[in-house]
Amino acid sequence: MATSEPKQQPWREEQLRKYTFKTDQIPRLPCSDSKVDELISLGQPVVITDTKLATPALKWTLDYLQEHLGDGDYSTYESDSHIFRYFDEKKLQSHKGYSPPMKRIEVKFPEFVQRVRNYEPGDKKLYLQQQLNDTVGKQIVVDFLQFNWPWISTYQRKNNWGQLTSNLLLIGMEGNVTPCHYDEQENLYAQVGGYKRVILFPPSQFSCLYPYPVHHPHDRQCQVDFENPDYERFPNFRNAHGYEAVLGPEDVLYLPMYWFHHFESLLDGGLTTSITFWYKSAPTTDITYPLKPQQKMAMMRNIEKMITEALNDPEEVRSFGPKSDSDSWVRFLAVVLVGPFMKDMVLGRYT
């Protein structure tokens, strides 16, 4: 009997960036496997195959999209490096001195195509991140309506998720990195074109990942530079342990709310196309103790917001450095409540 040839891996190890932490594999299961339902209901990540979730989008090449997307403006980030760290433009107001490392521009799709195709080393890198809305051409609407909505609605219903809030079309250049961060919504992430590596960390590793303070423009984004970790400021990063997978066309990743994630388009892998399906989370019904790590993260966010609003002066909250000699609440809280909850909230983030 012919032995089944091990499936030829369509990418090479050297296409993955090298980091200091160890990782295990994210489970990869066919949608027919009942374990998929179990993992999603437990809020555990899983790569799901054979869903046909966004099959019509497999034909969304640059030429096809250029022909059918219409002449709307497309939100695109340009960066001097391969790093595309999200920033909240509304929070830039209270951080006058801070200039984010990338810029959001609005481009017509043909301009995006032209810049990507004529890219030369040294040019700014581009990452199109556009919400699919009613400005798209009718062929794209036809494709969109043919997504496997019955399948995805099953999970929305089974897990009591709220409404579908948005579908983001992501078109990235090879090597682009969306650095580690968390989101506050459930995400079924459809990989459509090219190969993307995803590295996840559970909410329980909050203390290893040091997200920016809530009022900072990089709220929810990790401060640790994975390519050059500062172990002085972020000693606990040594204990980070990730879960990873390389997503290919038709793979769907269930990315649970509050799970930290890093995405990279493979080196020398060409363009990547992905579509996110973000859902509001299920309402919290019964609070059981001990609290889940994601509930503690939500609590920390509320405390940080409360303190910042109460003090009404981000300077007082920003850091304990010698310059802020004010007897700030955060200093008081961090000294008085040195339990793990406050330590995780404060150390390496406000210190």
Tell me which residues in 16-75 interact with ligand QVW (CB under 6 A).
Answer: none
Q: How far is the CB of 331 from Zn ion (least distance, A)?
A: 32
Q: Is residue 88 part of the contact set for Zn ion (CB under 5 A)?
A: no
Q: Is residue 183 part of the contact set for Zn ion (CB under 5 A)?
A: yes
Q: How far is the CB of 238 from ligand QVW (least distance, A)?
A: 24
Residue 338, Ramachandran bin (φ over 0: left; ψ between -120 and 50: alpha; else beta): alpha
Q: Decide if 85 contacts 100 (C-beta within 8 A).
A: yes
Which window, 33-41, 155-163, 181-189, 222-230, contacts ligand QVW (CB under 6 A)? 181-189
| Nearest Cα to Cα of residue 263 among 195, 339, 330 | 195
Q: Quote the crossing angle between the two packed helices 329-336 and 293-311, to the nearest 10°.
A: 140
Tell me which residues in 149-168 interact with ligand QVW (CB under 6 A).
Answer: 168
Q: Is residue 178 part of the contact set for ligand QVW (CB under 6 A)?
A: yes
DSSP codes of every residue in 56-85: GGGG--HHHHHHHS-S-EEEEEEESSSB--
Among 51, 76, 79, 129, contact with ligand QVW (rule: CB under 6 A): 129
Q: Which is nearer to ligand QVW, 178 or 281 (CB)?
A: 178
Q: How far is the CB of 189 from Zn ion (least distance, A)?
A: 9
How far, in Å, CA of 177 to CA of 267, rounded?
10
Q: How far is the CB of 200 from ligand QVW (least distance, A)?
A: 11
Residue 68: count other Cβ atoms within 10 Å of its Cβ. 18
Using CB distances below 5 to 8 A depending on partner kind, what does residue 188 bind out of Zn ion, ligand QVW, none?
A: none
Q: Is residue 187 part of the contact set for ligand QVW (CB under 6 A)?
A: yes
CA distances from 150 to 53, 54, 81, 304 (A): 9, 12, 40, 40
